[in-house]
Amino acid sequence: MNPAVREIADRVASEFSLPAEKIHSLITSPPEDVMGDYSLPCFILAKELKRSPQELASQIAKTLSGGIIAKAVAAGPYVNIVIDRPQLFSFILSAILNEGSLYGGAKKRDETVVIDFSSPNIARPFSIAHLRSTALGNSLKKIYQHLGYRVIGVNHLGDWGVQFGTLISAYTRWGDDEKIKQDSIYELYRLYVKFNDESERDPSLKDEARGWLKRLEERDPEAFRLWEWFVEISLNAFQRYYKILGVEFEVIQGESAYRDLTAPLIEELTRNKIAEESDGALIIRLNKPGEKEEIPPLILKTRDGTTVYATRDICAARSHWDQYHFAKKLYVVDAGQSLHFKQLFMALAKMGHEWSERLFHVPFGVMLFEDERMSTRKGRIVFLEEVLNRSMEMTRSIIESIEKMSNLSSDEKESVIPDVGVSAIIYADLSRSRIHDINFRWSEVLNFNGKSGPYIQYTHARMAGVLRKYEENVPKSPDFAKLGEPSEIALAKRLEIFPAKVQQAADEYEPFVIAEYLGNLAITINQFYDNCRVLGEEPALEEARIALVYCAKLVLKRGLELLGMRAPERM
């Protein structure tokens, strides 16, 4: 806790015999810097003490005056507080200097968070839309790790189910092994799309696909051989994408890993009268008598005897609980699956699993590409690999055209290009609230002047350049009394709220909170740099400003890393 906040909380708690933790939870930042450094709204305290908020605010302001508090002023039901400037800088910057890259995080906890993300379907190349779950989940994983949790990243591949009946049927009709060897996953995808096109004209093909799925579930040798081959091709392609994005998983395990658990599960649920037959299918009814909300039953087995992904999701959830006894498990899956997860969680609760309350769906909107909606079944998709390659090509052109970057060596340019090109795509995704649909536009993604990934990265590189020119160790205990310019105060106060933003991002499952914060931080850093000369000032002032630059660079870098982005030292 910031010593200034602790001082405010302790003084008010002592004066009114209230818990200091309660006071601390109420202290916030005022909407405008001119109001002060901190604000204490008095509504809740006034109700508890049976006082008017205005009267209580006036009394608290008198209580707080003196010491490290330079000024405390009652403004209606609020107390606005100004901290002694040298001590404010000392509180904020000393914490960053002492904690380093751990700033904004927490000590190691004895709690596990499981995050199920990315989870692509086998035999389909990544489209730009696949980035959403992958980037969101990877960022949440890094955020929870920073907060001290043990995090298990799970890639629950779609490697079983009706799409494999479709693919095997398509392969047996039109498959060409040479084309598959040459173009691997892209050729498999073309077969999948062709089958869906043909089945619209000839519905009997869908029966053929279901037949192949049944053979696969019964371990037919030919069906199983083809399935294993398609999985191997797909995993090799996926690993290539993940390497480019810098994404890693603790567990990569598809639906197929749970296929042998489905029969015992169905037998258990039938025996316990949790599952019942309906029109030839096996279901779990979720609505209780008299409930207004109609929740469709969860289907465990279709009329033709094949299981569905919901059956395997139940097995996976139970398996993960047995392995990890998680504090929470997050499913980072698009909003179109909201009903499925509601059914899944309700079914697990009906089965008596109290830990079902620790399961959370983290939904997100769809991604448009230059105003176009994508469709995997119809073949209207933009491949992620093509987008990443184009982003790097465009980054190369931009770097060559910017005079400030002309002094980079060829090796430095080759290093910066993927750093900026890939991170720009990630930031374009995470810089908007996850629940909103995203319209991907090149004009916004690679903007070096606005709130974009490259702008934030350039700001980081700019601070790195200042520190290189300083050519000495960053002072650990500079004279903070030398700082006091408005842009210095604004920057220090922006750095102070980083821990709160990290916690907010975790609580709301929303990396956008950090992405937006970094955009604002980069603007504040550049305003400071434009208004305050760092190098060449008298030694004490230079040292204090170098410490501020170092702290700003450190927080910017950590924030970029929490988003799964890179922080180049030179640009």
What pLDDT shows up at residue 439? 84
What pLDDT was estimated at residue 198? 94
Tell me if the domain spanning 112-255+316-369 has CATH number 1.10.40.30: no
Residue 387: pLDDT band with limits 50, 70, 90: confident
pLDDT band with cut points at 50, 70 and 90 for residue 440:
confident
Helices assigned H by DSSP within 103-258: 131-146, 162-174, 177-201, 204-217, 221-245
In angstroms, the CA 571 to CA 560 distance is 15
Q: How confident is the model at residue 401 (pLDDT cuts 50, 70, 90)?
A: confident
Name the segment(s) of the chain with CATH classification 3.40.50.620: 112-255+316-369
CATH 3.30.1360.70 in the chain, residue ranges? 3-83
Q: How far apart are CA 315 and CA 333, in angstroms?
A: 18
CATH of 3-83, one of 3.40.50.2300, 3.30.1360.70, 3.30.420.10, 3.40.50.620: 3.30.1360.70
507 Cβ contact partners less than 8 Å away, ≥ 6 residues apart = none
CA dist., res. 190 & res. 382, Å (int)? 14
- Considering the domain 384-562 in this protein, what is its CATH number? 1.10.730.10
Write the CA distances from 205 to 22, 142, 202, 209, integer angstroms.
Answer: 65, 45, 6, 6
pLDDT tens by residue, 272-329: 999 999 999 999 999 876 677 789 999 999 988 888 899 999 999 999 999 999 999 9
Helix (H/G/I), strand (E/B), else coil: 332: strand
pLDDT in tens, 61-106: 998 988 899 999 999 999 999 999 999 999 999 999 999 999 999 9
CATH 1.10.730.10 in the chain is located at 384-562
- Helix 539-562 crosses helix 498-507 at what angle (to 10 degrees)? 10
